[in-house]
Structure 1
């Protein structure tokens, strides 16, 4: 499969872009991209989780009942879903860079605006807009980073980057425990809006476009050479560039109908559905826990500050994703993550059994967080590996987008259970079921789309002359 050909003036022979990245050290320019994407993901986690940490203050200050919190707790999740679903196809058409910069600007402005909301309705609207930006930022950060990674380290690096999300959420919890008593709940949102706006200036100056995207879209060879030379000077000797992709027929569909055509093609549709289900179930657990755990622990008899600190241990556990990434680069990613989800189900169930025992709560909440966030943080790397360049933006974004409805469902589920006065133990027993379903979905994905060795280099080719 060939794209339209573009002239190049370089003196050497055509170069396989990914092979050159694979054969070169992971250098300063790639670490710069990693750092910018890592900061984006940290801010994504901070702003996404912030509403859960300020929820007890909203209940007290605005005199609202707990079930009334459901719209404001889920507003950002609706925005996250919409932002991801729209931004994926756009990034496959317009590029990763412009969508990512726009997304950070949107969620920075909206998060800052949330701090000045005067009632629950205004806060709900601003949280939805914040979610739009957050939803567009995460998948494009994953996609851009993945397309600058060598194959042998892709899962490790993406998982390391994705650790920023639970770390940002945990950092938000620790900061909220200090800032809210000292400065009020609005201070958390002011911080969550100001930092992204400052970061957007850096992104405008330094963030590059994906080299694989430039090749796939037949940009001039001179531009590709200049970008790739920042990774390795060996690119200066190339006269043309190409990339290899799995699935020539699916890649052709993506060329004709965009990333959506690839994601829904016969070759990829089963795997796509299983990725959506898995991520959906993971976010049922994550948001049910992060949004409601501070309130549930307070209702179980803990002091509000202790409830917030213990809850912050749950997202902190995402550092385990680095080990998962190493295992995914060496073994079968579907099986590695499926085991993590099964262990997550067990540990979440044990949270419900630890009510009244603070020491045991600290232990099982942290263990559940390590397992849950290890599994969930590994999913973007699994999706990035599954899809070729032409549809990778859509594939990663749609998994994250459809999965966000799991966050909506998780938050609404706990709201409904608390309204029915289900016990602390009962709530976490029900939430744990989602981990079992996620593991089963990955087993089905492995059966339908077995993860084996890398495809042959000539399976599909994009060439510039």
Structure 2
């Protein structure tokens, strides 16, 4: 390091080994994503207990089950611009405390209306936390490992969902449904203490916003003591600069085409995910399978998140847009084949699992793609808006299948329609690639700065 010259923060991160401090940042962000998965799954498991305790009908559960989804969308859309103005750290502290206290309060709900309102507030907190965790993690990663590490972090979601299911199945008979929400509220509040003590502000955010050199030096010194010798800090962005912040970047001429295509791809991915998660057990049962077999086969679909780590490695080495576009195209083919395999249980098991691996791989890779697309001044907003707008795809997917079922569309026809969403997502990413070509090789990845 040249003692007299300003240090480029991303070059500093690229040139030093991934430190225990960066693994701590990874762990804290991973736990936030894990809690999101836990909370998403747990509400479905407590639903039968709500019917029994409060004497409500199944249709009356719809608002409480969808309240968090609307909250997630609102939280993401609002938190992104705030993150680019107030900082990643303050948004993470605020959002984790919000969903922790709201989830804790929901354990003491006296009726379905109170629970619905508190589920919405919990969703706002979770929706704000997720994109900020992605942005924070991305800004502490070396270029050559960014997609791999963000995708590995996103494996926390299916793990949390599975963990939530297993824990709820054990806790509800022993301690009642409220115990699940108590756990979901106390855990983030314990994490909040660790975040408050250990979580720094993003170094890229500090440089972009003219923070004092001592603050940046203190954060980088936790990666390597070499930072203590640096007199000042700078930052290069290979992504085009717009001079704006937040939405000004995301909607600028340089980024608008890519932004819209990211929204379309993520939206369509969640159409497939929620249509499959919410309806596959019912559709398989209606197609002639026993309820137990239908549930077990449908449960294979969300298990496929492990492929995301391999996809992250490929994204760090090759063209990320085309890698994920190929995953969406293969998802479309495999989802279509689910509809053709209903008479053959063996084939159905294999195809549902393969479809789940491809679907979850593509979807879990999208936040890393968005984080790499935007410059630091607009990254928080860009990632958050993609996640926020995508949540409406989850709502649309559930309603799409309900409408197709109402019109008595065949099993094969329903999955053929769902598969179209995968093709649209694939085309959207190819348009994004054409609008702003992305070229990365292993050598280039080491040399280039954050934006792709």
Task: Provide closer, same or farther for how the CA distance between residues 381 and 130 of structure 1 changes in structure 2, counting only shifts above 3 A.
Answer: same
> What does residue 114 of structure 1 align with?
106
2:223 alignment partner in structure 1: 231
Instruction: Name the stretch that deviates more: 277-286 or 107-116.
Output: 107-116
C-alpha contact (below 8 Å) 2:240/2:254 kept by paired residues: no
Does the CA-based 8 Å contact 1:174-1:309 persist in structure 2? Answer: no
SS at match of 1:209: coil
Counterpart in 2 of 1:39? 31
**Aligned position for 1:51:** 43
1:266 aligns with 253
Question: Is it true that 1:346 corresponds to 2:338 in the alignment?
Answer: no
Which residue of 243, 249, 262 corresponds with 1:275? 262
**Separation of aligned partners in 2, 1:394 and 1:348:** 32
Specify every segment of 5 or more residues in structure 2 that has no aligned partner in the other structure, as ranges: none
* Cα shift at 1:168: 1.4
Tell me the equivalent position of 2:199: 207
Secondary structure class of the residue paired with 1:224 = helix
The answer for the alignment partner of 2:380 in structure 1 is: 393
Asked if structure 2 preserves the Cα contact closer than 8 Å seen for 1:333 and 1:382, the reply is yes
> CA offsets, 1:64-123, max 9 Å, x none?
555544333321111111111111111111110110111111112222333343443333
- The Cα of 1:293 is off from its aligned counterpart by 3.8
TM-score, normalising length from structure 1? Answer: 0.88
Query: CA separation of 1:295/1:126 partners in 2, compared to 1, >3 Å: closer, same or farther?
Result: farther
Aligned residues: 446
1:21-420 alignment runs, 5 A limit: 21-55=13-47, 58=50, 66-247=58-239, 249-250=241-242, 252=243, 254=244, 258-297=245-284, 309-355=296-342, 359-420=346-407
User: Is 1:442 aligned with 2:434?
Assistant: no
Distance 1:211 1:310, change over 3 A: same
Distance apart, 1:436 and its partner CA: 1.2
Q: Do 1:38 and 1:162's aligned partners in 2 also have CA atoms closer than 8 Å?
A: yes
Q: For the Cα contact (< 8 Å) 2:241–2:375, is it kept in 1?
A: no
Q: Distance in 2 between matches of 1:356 and 1:369?
A: 20
Name the structure 1 match of 2:438.
451
1:361-409 residue CA offsets vs partner (Å, 9 max, x unmatched): 4433322221111000000000011001111111111111111111121
Q: Which moved more, 1:424-433 or 1:372-381?
A: 424-433
Q: What secondary structure does 1:25 align onto?
A: coil
Structure 1 224/370 Cα, relative in aligned 2: closer, same or farther at 3 Å? same
CA distance in structure 2 between the aligned counterparts of 1:43 and 1:379, rounded to whole angstroms: 19
Preserved contact between residue 80 and residue 132 of structure 1 (Cα < 8 Å)? yes
Distance 1:170 1:351, change over 3 A: farther
Alignment CA distance shift 1:367-1:247 (3 Å): closer
TM-score, scaled relative to structure 2: 0.90
C-alpha RMSD over aligned residues: 2.8
Distance 2:447 2:361 in 1: 31
The Cα of 1:313 is off from its aligned counterpart by 2.9
Change (3 A) 1:351 1:370: same
Greater shift, 67-76 or 35-44, is seen at 67-76
User: Higher mean Cα deviation, 437-446 or 61-70?
Assistant: 61-70
Helix, strand or coil at the partner of 1:244 = coil
Alignment-derived partner of residue 5 in structure 1: none
